[in-house]
């Protein structure tokens, strides 16, 4: 979602906005210059509309690549983003979008989206409720519009075989949510957000969504002076408990996911990072039994961690549910949502996914937008192809690393003092402070052992 102006008018002193192109009635293709299906052509290919590393049905460590990767395209950046940023107007004109809030235009966007999905060969997509369906003047009217669009999406899913990875509710764009939804001090706003969640849960179920995401962009604060953090967090937990009850009452089977982010648009967001979110779920009775995390690496780096940090941490605690596979620019201070193109980072991320046996029912969702300066329709394909290849290469690398077991063996050896004897008792929780003291008195000063960071980095580079 953009916080920049969405048009240029005479009132601003700018030039008139170019006339928006519209899709031609009965047009056979929204992307006529793109092949019907992007093909795998191997590592030597220089065709930007081909895969170099992603070969969907190739078996890696006992599974087809498509099952390890479970790629998904997000609707919001790909079909609602137009290149605006906090400092500038939209730059991208899409011929299938007449910029109105009509049902017809919403369907046109969806039609274009499913052509892109099928040509890329991805099996999943994701959306916010307000990405795919317009908001009306009343909740009843908005829900009616959502029902009509959901029926259209269902028909497109049935026709193409593309499935819904997850849906989420937009509780950050409308002015009513300026102080948050479930951490809003006004109970009326809380109720509106809860009603929006209820509707989205029903739609997600009808469309066969395999997960449902909660991202609280405004669930936080701008000033501690007007904030009661404990009440905010209690109210947020209350909403999650309502959602759990409703899901169970209706027999819905999708996985709940929380997506951490430290800030933006709020100054401080309560689900700051993976560790914070997991602690919150553990503190608030039984929530950790019903939720996992949807990790977005660009959010992770905004929290001051490496790209792979939250993926690995949440995976090691059994809490990694899905990944919004993007990256950021370390020299830009906001969430830039770029396509991931770093093989090394993808290798580390895929290593965690391989170690936990896969990411299902989650996936690798490209929460990415082409750059403001990338204005051709085909750039949408190039960005996704490059990112899909990046994670496919990461999967190949991670598999080879585990098959050869050099790096894992080095890590295991580094922690070997905990595998038996005194160290094993520490891990088992059967040792006391007194026994630790006695051990040191008997054994004296520990030996200095090199961490060998440079060697680890050298070994990792062999696989790139």
Select which of 77, 85, 97, 128 is catalytic.
Answer: 128
The span from the CA of 445 to the CA of 439, in Å, is 10
Sign of the four-CA dihedral 145, 151, 152, 154: positive
Asked if 328 and 338 count as a contact pair (C-beta separation under 8 A), the reply is: yes
Helix (H, G, I), strand (E, B) or coil at 240: helix
- Asked if residue 164 lies in contact with residue 209, where contact means CB atoms within 8 angstroms, the answer is yes
Q: Which of 85, 97, 129, 131 is catalytic?
A: 131
Which value, to the nearest 10 degrees, does the dihedral of the CA atoms of residues 56, 60, 62, 68 take? -60
Count CB atoms within 10 A of the CB of residue 187: 9
Instruction: Look at the block and give the residue holding tokens 């990046």.
Output: 390
Name which of 70, 387, 65 is nearest 210 in CA terms.
Answer: 70
- CB under 8 Å, gap of 24 or more: what pairs does 129-133 form? 129/167, 129/168, 129/169, 129/170, 129/196, 129/199, 129/200, 129/203, 130/170, 130/173, 130/174, 131/75, 131/76, 131/79, 131/80, 131/170, 132/75, 132/106, 133/106
CA distances from 118 to 29, 55, 159, 161 (A): 12, 15, 11, 9
Please say if 290 is a catalytic residue. no
Residue 174: DSSP 8-state: S
Q: Is 234 a catalytic residue?
A: no
- Angle, alpha carbons 276-320-340 (nearest 5°): 95
| Residue 183: both structure tokens together | 């951490």
Q: Which residues are catalytic?
A: 128, 131
């Amino acid at each position: 979602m953009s916080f920049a102006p969405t048009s240029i008018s005479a009132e601003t002193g700018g030039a008139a906005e170019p006339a928006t192109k519209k899709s031609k009635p009965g047009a056979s293709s929204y992307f006529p210059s793109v092949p019907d299906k992007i093909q795998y052509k191997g590592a030597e290919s220089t065709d930007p509309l081909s895969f170099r590393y992603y070969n969907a049905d190739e078996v890696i460590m006992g599974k087809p690549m498509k099952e390890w990767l479970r790629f998904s395209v997000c609707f919001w950046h790909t079909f609602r983003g137009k290149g605006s940023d906090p400092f500038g107007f939209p730059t991208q004109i899409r011929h299938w979008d007449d910029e109105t809030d009509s049902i017809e235009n919403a369907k046109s966007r969806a039609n274009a989206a499913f052509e892109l999905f099928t040509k890329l060969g991805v099996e999943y997509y994701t959306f916010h409720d307000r990405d795919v369906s317009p908001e009306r003047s009343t909740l009843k009217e908005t829900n009616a519009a959502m029902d009509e669009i959901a029926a259209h999406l269902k028909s497109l899913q049935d026709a193409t075989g593309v499935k819904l990875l997850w849906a989420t509710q937009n509780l950050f764009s409308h002015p009513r949510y300026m102080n948050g939804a479930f951490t809003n001090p006004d109970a009326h706003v809380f109720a509106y957000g809860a009603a929006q969640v209820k509707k989205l849960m029903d739609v997600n179920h009808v469309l066969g969504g395999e997960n449902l995401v909660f991202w609280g962009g405004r669930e936080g604060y701008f000033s501690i002076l007007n904030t009661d953090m404990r009440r905010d967090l209690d109210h947020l937990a209350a909403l999650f408990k309502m959602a759990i009850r409703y899901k169970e009452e209706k027999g819905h089977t999708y996985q709940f996911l929380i997506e951490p982010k430290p800030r933006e648009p709020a100054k401080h967001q309560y689900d700051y990072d993976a560790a914070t979110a997991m602690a919150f779920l553990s503190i608030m009775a039984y929530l950790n039994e019903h939720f996992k995390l949807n990790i977005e690496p660009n959010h992770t780096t905004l929290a001051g961690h490496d790209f792979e940090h939250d993926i690995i941490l949440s995976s090691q605690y059994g809490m990694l549910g899905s990944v919004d596979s993007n990256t950021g620019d370390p020299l830009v201070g906001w969430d830039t949502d770029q396509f991931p193109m770093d093989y090394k980072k993808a290798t580390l991320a895929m290593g965690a996914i391989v170690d936990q046996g896969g990411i299902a029912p989650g996936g690798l969702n490209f929460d990415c937008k082409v750059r403001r300066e990338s204005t051709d329709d085909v750039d949408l394909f190039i960005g996704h192809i490059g990112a899909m290849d990046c994670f496919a290469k990461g999967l190949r690398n991670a598999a080879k690393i585990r098959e050869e077991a050099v790096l894992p063996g080095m890590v295991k050896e580094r922690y070997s003092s905990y595998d038996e004897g005194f160290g094993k008792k520490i891990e088992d929780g059967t040792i006391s402070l007194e026994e630790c003291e006695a051990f040191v008195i008997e054994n004296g000063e520990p030996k200095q052992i090199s961490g060998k960071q440079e060697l680890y980095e050298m070994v990792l580079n062999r696989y790139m």
